[in-house]
Amino acid sequence: DAGVTQSPTHLIKTRGQQVTLRCSPKSGHDTVSWYQQALGQGPQFIFQYYEEEERQRGNFPDRFSGHQFPNYSSELNVNALLLGDSALYLCASSLGGVDEKLFFGSGTQLSVL
C-alpha cells in the first residue's frame, strides 16, 4: 500500500522563479493538504483540496496556488519566489476532508537562492 509520495525531494531555485511541487495521496484518500515547514518550526497550513476544489486556505499570499486532479493527486505552485519561501513543503492526505490522522509525505525541500 503506497503512502503519500512527493516529488521532487529537493529543489533549488532563484528569486523570482516559479516552482511546481507534486503529491500523490495515500491509496483510498481523496483529500490533500499542503503545509510549509520552516527550519525549527512546526508545519503551517497552506491550503486543502477536496473534490478538485480549494476548500480551506491558510494565511499565505496568492503567489501560492494549487490544483487537484480527478485521480486526487495535487500540485502546489509558487510564483515569484522569495528567499523566505525556502522550507520543507509537506503534503498530507486524509479521507473525506477530515483532518484526523493525516498521513504525510516526506516533503520537498525547496531552497531559494
Partner 1 sequence: EDQVTQSPEALRLQEGESSSLNCSYTVSGLRGLFWYRQDPGKGPEFLFTLYSAGEEKEKERLKATLTKKESFLHITAPKPEDSATYLCAVQSPSGNTPLVFGKGTRLSVIA
Residues found near partner 1 in the complex (CB under 8 A): 4, 33, 35, 40-45, 48, 55-56, 58, 90, 92, 97-107, 109
Q: At its nearest, how many Å lie between partner 1 and the CB of residue 23?
A: 11
Chain centroid, CA 19 distance in Å? 12
10 vs 70 by CB, closer to partner 1 = 10
Smallest gap, in angstroms, from Cβ of residue 66 to partner 1?
14
Residue 108: closest CA among 81, 90, 95: 90
Q: Is 44 exposed, middle or buried (0-12, 13-18, 19+ CB in 10 A)?
A: middle
**Least distance to partner 1, CB of residue 30, Å:** 13
